[in-house]
């Protein structure tokens, strides 16, 4: 495998990692601040993708689609938080798992009812189509570069939001001691709704971005949700920094494993067998990474050590 091909895979891994970060950031905030496990987070990813595909097909503008994805996922997030999630904060994790599992069924079947079972396809907008020549002699799609860039900007924006704004102070205070900040006069219900909607909007954005790279279909959210869980286990609950590092680690490990392992096995196995063994093992890599982190740091790389 040549160096330029390797570099291309590294970029693909970064792009995948950035998408995973958008997905994990909201999840980890909701875990950290509200102590809630939300299995339906993948549904907001799907809602974002469908809203983007629907609006982009109707208006012809991908960027309007992105706005629609953000808006749809945020509004759905606010509604779901106020109608369902709010009742679950005081419940045990089992009830949270069940209720959000039920939400997945409702959202998936509702989307199937509205859009049908056939996948939709989104085109890359003309502004971001084509490829650029990068140093090292590789042509890399502009769109994927833009995803990496946008992911990076959003990460910086989130760090700023959590680290340097009043909302961020409240979020961090809510993680540390929710009774105390309620006693200090912060409207905790509203804070929770905002945090939840922020997370679902980011998930919707991730879905819309990926909609041009993969097909948009019912059930697209759950595999990504489970990867986001792996990210959070690696990064540590409640940590945005952990989510970023974990997402990039998972993205790079998965992408590089899938391209390098079959090549590595080809050194001592016949090609067809090497391909099979390599790709089967590559699908295990991120979980092995997770297991490794668990053995050495059970609360994740950046998680608070809890007794």
Partner 1 sequence: MIRERYLNLALLAALLAVPVLAQVQGAPFTITLATKIAIFALAAVGLNLALGLGGLVSFGHAAFFGVGGYVIGILASHARNYEPFLTWPVEVAGTTQMLVLWPLAVLVAALVAAAIGALSLRTSGIFFIMITLAFAQMLYYFAVSWPTYGGEDGLPFYLRGDFPGLNTMDPISFFGLCYALLLVALWLFHRLHRARFGLALEGARQNPERVQALGIRPFQVRLLAFILSGAITGLAGALYADLNRFVSPAMLGWQTSGELIVLIILGGVGRLCGPVAGAGLFFLLEHWLGGLSEFWQFWFGLILLCVVLFARGGLIGALAKDQTHD
| Spatial distance between the Cα atoms of 256 and 44, rounded to a whole number of angstroms | 28
Q: Shortest approach of partner 1 to residue 69 CB, angstroms?
A: 22
Residue 37: which region, alpha, beta or left (left: phi > 0; alpha: psi -120 to 50)?
A: beta
Could you tell me if 204 and 51 are in contact, meaning their C-beta atoms sit under 8 angstroms apart?
yes
Q: Shortest approach of partner 1 to residue 225 CB, angstroms?
A: 9
| Spatial distance between the Cα atoms of 23 and 209, rounded to a whole number of angstroms | 11
Q: Shortest approach of partner 1 to residue 36 CB, angstroms?
A: 8
Nearer CB in complex with partner 1: 132/291: 291
Which residue shows structure tokens 């993948």?
42
| Spatial distance between the Cα atoms of 276 and 95, rounded to a whole number of angstroms | 40
287 binds partner 1 (CB under 8 A): yes
Applying CB under 8 A, among 11, 99, 198, 210 the residue interacting with partner 1 is 99
**By rule CB under 8 A, what string of x and - marks binding of each residue 228-267 to partner 1?**
-xx-xx---x------------------------------
**By rule CB under 8 A, what string of x and - marks binding of each residue 4-33 to partner 1?**
---------------------------x--
In terms of Cβ atoms closer than 10 Å to its own Cβ (0-12, 13-18, 19+), residue 41 is buried
Q: Shortest approach of partner 1 to residue 117 CB, angstroms?
A: 10
Applying CB under 8 A, among 11, 205, 274, 290 the residue interacting with partner 1 is 290
| Spatial distance between the Cα atoms of 255 and 180, rounded to a whole number of angstroms | 44
Nearer CB in complex with partner 1: 21/143: 21
Applying CB under 8 A, among 5, 102, 180, 304 the residue interacting with partner 1 is 102
Number of residues that bind partner 1 (CB under 8 A): 44
Residues that bind partner 1 (CB under 8 A): 31, 35, 37, 39, 84, 87, 93-95, 97-99, 101-106, 108-110, 112-113, 222-223, 226, 229-230, 232-233, 237, 276, 279-280, 282-284, 287, 290-291, 294-295, 298-299
């Amino acid at each position: 495998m040549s160096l330029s091909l390797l570099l291309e895979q590294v970029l693909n891994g970064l792009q995948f990692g950035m998408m995973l970060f958008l997905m994990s950031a909201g999840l980890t905030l909701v875990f950290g601040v509200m102590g809630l496990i939300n299995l339906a987070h993948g549904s907001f990813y799907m809602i974002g993708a469908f809203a983007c595909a629907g609006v982009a097909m109707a208006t012809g503008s991908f960027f309007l689609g992105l706005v629609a994805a953000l808006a749809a996922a945020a509004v759905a997030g606010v509604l779901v938080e106020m109608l369902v999630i709010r009742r679950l904060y005081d419940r045990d994790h089992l009830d949270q798992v069940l209720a959000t599992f039920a939400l997945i069924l409702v959202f998936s079947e509702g989307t199937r009812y509205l859009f049908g079972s056939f996948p939709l396809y989104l085109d890359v907008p003309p502004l971001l189509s084509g490829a650029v020549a990068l140093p090292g002699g590789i042509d890399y799609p502009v769109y994927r570069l833009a995803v990496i860039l946008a992911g990076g900007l959003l990460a910086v924006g989130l760090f700023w939001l959590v680290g340097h704004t009043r909302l961020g102070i409240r979020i961090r205070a809510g993680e540390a001691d929710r009774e105390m900040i309620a006693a200090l006069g912060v409207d905790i219900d509203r804070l929770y709704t905002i945090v939840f909607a922020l997370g679902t909007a980011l998930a919707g954005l991730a879905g819309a971005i990926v909609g041009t790279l993969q097909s948009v279909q019912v059930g697209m959210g759950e595999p990504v949700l489970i990867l986001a869980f792996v990210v959070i286990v690696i990064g540590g609950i409640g940590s945005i920094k952990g989510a970023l590092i974990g997402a990039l680690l998972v993205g790079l490990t998965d992408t590089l494993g899938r391209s390098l392992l079959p090549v590595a096995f080809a050194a001592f196995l016949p090609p067809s067998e090497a391909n099979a063994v390599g790709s089967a093992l590559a699908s295990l890599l991120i979980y092995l990474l997770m297991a490794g982190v668990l053995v050495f740091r059970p609360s994740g790389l950046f998680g608070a050590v809890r007794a």
